Chains A and B, each alone.
Chain A
Amino acid sequence: MATTQDLGLTTQPQQSQEGHPTSMLLVLVWQVIASLILVAITLQLWQIETFFDLGVIVPRFIGAVVLLAAVAGIVIVPLLYRMQNSGRLGGIIFNFFGFTLGLLLLGHLLGLYIGIDDLAAGLYSNAILILGFPVGYGVVMIGRRLDPMSAAFDWIQRAGLGIMMLTLLILLISVGLADSLGTLVNGLFRLDVLATIGALAAFMAAGVVLLRQGERFGETINQREAWQGWLFLLPNFANFMLFFALPLLLSFYMSLTDFDAVSAANFIGIENYTDMLSLDFQTINPLEQAPAEVLRARHFEIGRITFSEDSALIIGARDPLFWLSLGNTIRYCVMLLILSIVPALGLAMLLNSKIPGMRFFRAVYFLPSIAAVVGVALIWQWLYDPVIGYINYTLGQIATFFGGESANILWLTDESIMLISAVIMAAWQVIGFNTVILLAGLQNVPRELIEAATVDGANGWTRFRKIIMPLLAPTTFFVTVTTLILGLQAFSELFVLFGNSTSNARLTTVFYLYQQGFETFNMGYASAIAWVLFGLIFIVTLIQFRLSSNNAAYSD
């Protein structure tokens, strides 16, 4: 590490002030042109009155970002002219970022992304050909098993690879490669496509020219690493900006509007949040007053604490459904924690005894967590069937054995049970995952400690409480937090399991968000719900971060 640094420092900067080669001059011109184009785009964006009904703020925000890029493009010019390496670094990032975005745009203009649908359709009508891949892979595998010295070792593997290549080729041809290429070539002669290609070529050329000028700019190895680092990060970062950072900002902005996907959004400040969270506590005389008389306007009762016959504390909320969903979510999380961590801890303890077959059992317990929630919910829907389902049947058999009555629990329709049904299913799915992680934690508990305690006469329970529990605390805590975050986001389980039910008993916070966002299209309000949920998860994560860093200090 040190040597590379030294190498970099010993390279003398060769500040040559003599004239620039033509290519550099062209790059400078291009920088100016590109920046002017960006300014033009900014001006265009500034004039858009409303951007998918979100008002002027979104196009102006994007415009500001573009303007920033334009300013960067201009600032680079004098730096480049004075042969400063910072200008070159900026130029490289500017041009390659432009190139990446341009490439994405070109794909869009040529219909490449939408073309994936046709690709899927083509694969569908030639599905049998896909078998060529596993066959080829199998041949390669057979080849690998052979004696590496034998002649067959090589050529069988090559044959396998050949089969896979041939499959790919035939597949591409039959999927309609020629047709797609034809449309692609036709598309090339559209004005917007040509312009984009021109810009792409310019970005690329400018970037490459700048890359090649390392020596003239007296680039050190550290400086070299800088642009290389950004280039490596580029695919990652571009995607992050487009599909993560941008939506994230939009989401926050939307949560401050009354956006409903149809009419233009109005900025309403934090009204969504105050509406959602607004509570009103009032005392009431239930004998004489109706809740509506004492509560603030547009608040509805969500609970009351009765002190005596004629006095009670009444709690009203502006959005009772939100509080209901929050309550459901919290109950769901608590039950999920209990039902998934206690059994997982037990199973991990059992598996930790170094018995033969441990791997098999561990794999079996892990199985449910890899299955699609939708599929799992469909299975459990029938297991929970009150008449023909196995769960009621088994409970009935057990009850009859002990002389009780057969069970008739309405798992999927009884509002007081629905949440428990979903939790049992979710716990079944997550136990294996938790077991694997707890087991890994247990295996880190030094065996000598436990043996020493055994020799000192500690029995199983004492060993568990005094040695294993404290040492396992960080792992248990990690599992608790991941399960909690999973529970806070519960949606699919309930959405699928209860099917066409309209009961509010299945309404978790994400479920409520889904209803608000995609059923009644209160997208601004739904965004606000999402941010409140994020706040909850943030708090949980923060607590984990604090506590686990304390724990780490303790165990070191």
Chain B
Amino acid sequence: MATIARPQTTTRAAQDARERNRLIRAWITRIAVYVLLTVAAFIMLFPFLYMLFTSLKTANDVFRFPPRLLPYSTLTTEYNGEDVPLFEVDVNGETRLMVIAETGIRVGYFTTADLINAEEPTESELVISLPLDEATDLDEEIIVADEDFDLYEVTVNGEAQTLLLAYRRGLARFVDPNDESVEAFGSARDTPQAEVLEFQWQNYNAVLTLRNLDRSLINTALVTVLVTLGQVTTSLLGGYAFSRMRFRGRNAVFMVYLGTIMIPFVVLIIPLYQLMVVIGWQDRLVSLILPWIFTAYGTFLMRQFFITIPRELEEAAFLDGLGRFGILWRIFVPLSGAAIATQAIITFLYAWNSFIWPLVIIGEGNTENHVITLSLMTLRNAAASEPNLVLTGAAVAILPPLVLFILAQRYFVEGIANTGLKG
């Protein structure tokens, strides 16, 4: 309103300026929105990236501090008949790949009383550093700023000097494996190892075959497929009966079904467990399938979708002599692709990710019938010192639903947004 009511005297230039300001503000808002969205996306994705990259690391690389995302492995070379790690050592301003020839060499760092930094001796300006064997201990001490320092006689440029020992260290002698005359001293701990970016794809092989995750992957896939097929079938039939047929008891049963949606599974877990024991299904894959074929929620969803299908379609087919099954199969099923896909996906995820029921019903020892979530727990306990393998296992469990998500994203997000609002 304000812009319209403005007096006519406004010049064109002022209007342009206002317009420009408005555009700039819109752009700044837009950039801010994108920055916020990107930060949030990064937070959402980071644990997955961490999982993927860690699953491609060596165990040692995981325990490195500070942490880093990309997988590196140390370069090694053969030296004196052994495989030893290579280090990146600075020799006269030039970085060379060297190996450790000797460790535990005691080196002294010498300086004068004027140059010493008594509070932080390691920060002092040095005159020379050399192995302590090459210096002579004078058995005398000098006090600089309330700190004691030993005095040594040291040869500097062929000339003997009395210097004080600022600090000493145990160092390693590095040599170039190709030219042993090139040597350098340095701390073995602080010298960076030579590393190369390398993806440990064999982790996946190790986890799948050595730790038997392939078997549980097959079991999970079989269970998931059967549960999904079963749930979709019973829901289609039930949803059709609830939406299109009138019979005594229908509404009562429907109300009971609706009521069961809010009953948490833990109410059933103990008697269901006992039931499985009595039937003899404990430790069997069937215990993960048959009790899960019924779903009140899925039946409800299917019914909600079916009542939106116009009755005229059905009546024409009815007059053409198509039976009830024919109508369901030829008319309702093709029309409900999206609803079926949504339900199938929800069921798939539920079955693939389920944990508490398999934990209870499939024994820890019966690894033959483990599903993926159980195998992950076993793997976690067995490979506590190898987080790279544990996270490889996590990736094996998480990636199949992720791939499905990317393929069928439409049904996931839209379907869940819709069903969520209806529920």
C-alpha gap A495/B380 in the complex (Å): 12
Give A372 Cβ to nearest chain B Cβ, in Å. 4
B199 at the interface (CB under 8 A from A): no
Q: Mark B136-162, 1 if CB is under 8 A from A, else 0.
A: 000000000000000000000000000
Given the contacts A243-B291, A393-B66, A235 and B274 also touching, CB distance less than 8 Å: no
Q: Mark A521-551, 1 if CB is under 8 A from B, else 0.
A: 0010011001101100110010000000000
Given the contacts A226-B248, A517-B269, A236 and B47 also touching, CB distance less than 8 Å: no
- Which of A64-72, A187-195, A278-286, A437-445 interfaces with chain B? A437-445
9 A/B residue pairs, CB under 8 Å, sorted by A: A114-B281, A117-B285, A240-B260, A365-B41, A372-B372, A374-B376, A376-B398, A455-B1, A456-B1
CB proximity to A under 8 Å, residues B303-356: 311, 315, 318, 324, 328, 349, 352-353, 355-356
Nearest B residue to A372 via CB reads B353
Contact A371 B2 (CB under 8 A): no
Other than the known A230-B241, A240-B296, what 17 A-B pairs have Cβ atoms closer than 8 Å? A1-B311, A4-B318, A228-B247, A232-B237, A232-B241, A235-B293, A244-B296, A247-B275, A347-B37, A355-B33, A364-B45, A366-B405, A382-B391, A390-B50, A437-B416, A489-B264, A513-B266
Q: Of A229, A357, A387, which is in contact with the most chain B CB atoms at under 10 Å from its CB?
A: A229
Using a Cβ–Cβ cut-off of 8 Å, how many residues does chain A contribute to the interface with B?
Answer: 113
Contact B234 A530 (CB under 8 A): no
Q: Mark A372-402, 1 if CB is under 8 A from B, else 0.
A: 1111101110110001111001000000000
Q: Which of B246, B398, B413 contacts A366 (CB 8 A)?
A: B413
Q: Which of A373, A432, A531 contacts B353 (CB 8 A)?
A: A373
Contact B67 A390 (CB under 8 A): yes
B284 at the interface (CB under 8 A from A): yes
Contact B269 A371 (CB under 8 A): no
Interface of B is mostly: helix
Residues of B within 8 A of A431 (CB): 44
Contact B368 A121 (CB under 8 A): yes
CB proximity to A under 8 Å, residues B64-114: 64-67
Q: Mark A317-347, 1 if CB is under 8 A from B, else 0.
A: 0000000000000000000000000010001
Residues of B within 8 A of A80 (CB): none
Give A381 Cβ to nearest chain B Cβ, in Å. 8
Q: Of B65, B271, B421, which is in contact with the most chain A CB atoms at under 10 Å from its CB?
A: B271
Contact B401 A243 (CB under 8 A): no
Contact B262 A541 (CB under 8 A): yes
Give B291 Cβ to nearest chain A Cβ, in Å. 4
Using a Cβ–Cβ cut-off of 8 Å, how many residues does chain B contribute to the interface with A?
Answer: 117
Residues of A within 8 A of B284 (CB): 113-114, 116-117
C-alpha gap A491/B280 in the complex (Å): 27
B233 at the interface (CB under 8 A from A): yes
Residues of A within 8 A of B292 (CB): 243
Residues of A within 8 A of B47 (CB): 368, 376, 379-380, 383, 428
Give B377 Cβ to nearest chain A Cβ, in Å. 7
C-alpha gap A230/B311 in the complex (Å): 20
Give B344 Cβ to nearest chain A Cβ, in Å. 14
Contact B246 A225 (CB under 8 A): yes
B163 at the interface (CB under 8 A from A): no
Q: Could you tell me which A residues sit within 8 Å of B by CB distance? A: 1, 3-4, 52, 54, 108, 113-114, 116-117, 119-121, 123-124, 127, 222, 225-230, 232-237, 239-240, 242-244, 246-248, 250-251, 254, 261, 343, 347, 350-351, 353, 355, 357, 359, 361-368, 370-376, 378-380, 382-383, 387-390, 393, 428, 431-433, 436-437, 439-441, 455-457, 475, 478, 482, 485, 488-489, 491-492, 495-496, 499-500, 510, 513-514, 517-518, 523, 526-527, 530-531, 533-534, 537-538, 541
C-alpha gap A538/B270 in the complex (Å): 20
C-alpha gap A236/B296 in the complex (Å): 9
Residues of B within 8 A of A534 (CB): 263-264, 267
Q: Which of B240, B293, B393, B421 contacts A239 (CB 8 A)?
A: B293
Q: Could you tell me which B residues sit within 8 Å of A by CB distance? A: 1-2, 30, 33-34, 36-37, 40-41, 43-48, 50-51, 54, 62-67, 214-215, 218-219, 222, 226, 233-235, 237-238, 240-242, 245-250, 253, 257, 260, 262-275, 277-281, 284-286, 289-294, 296, 299, 311, 315, 318, 324, 328, 349, 352-353, 355-356, 359-360, 368-369, 372-373, 376-377, 380-381, 387, 390-391, 393-395, 397-398, 401-402, 405, 409, 412-413, 416-418, 420-421, 423
Give A57 Cβ to nearest chain B Cβ, in Å. 13
Given the contacts A114-B280, A362-B413, A492 and B355 also touching, CB distance less than 8 Å: yes
Contact B267 A428 (CB under 8 A): no
Contact A236 B237 (CB under 8 A): yes
Contact A475 B235 (CB under 8 A): no
Interface of A is mostly: helix
Nearest B residue to A460 via CB reads B29
Contact A433 B369 (CB under 8 A): no
Q: Which of B2, B65, B250, B373 contacts A372 (CB 8 A)?
A: B373
Residues of B within 8 A of A489 (CB): 264-266
Given the contacts A1-B311, A372-B401, A378-B393, A537 and B262 also touching, CB distance less than 8 Å: yes
Contact A373 B355 (CB under 8 A): yes
Residues of A within 8 A of B393 (CB): 375, 378
C-alpha gap A314/B395 in the complex (Å): 50
C-alpha gap A79/B390 in the complex (Å): 66
Given the contacts A119-B222, A228-B324, A371 and B356 also touching, CB distance less than 8 Å: no
Give A62 Cβ to nearest chain B Cβ, in Å. 11
Q: Which of B240, B387, B421 contacts A440 (CB 8 A)?
A: B421
Given the contacts A254-B270, A378-B391, A379-B51, A530 and B264 also touching, CB distance less than 8 Å: yes
Residues of B within 8 A of A235 (CB): 233-234, 237-238, 293
Contact B266 A530 (CB under 8 A): yes
Q: Which of B51, B257, B267, B272 contacts A243 (CB 8 A)?
A: B272
Residues of B within 8 A of A243 (CB): 272, 275, 290-294
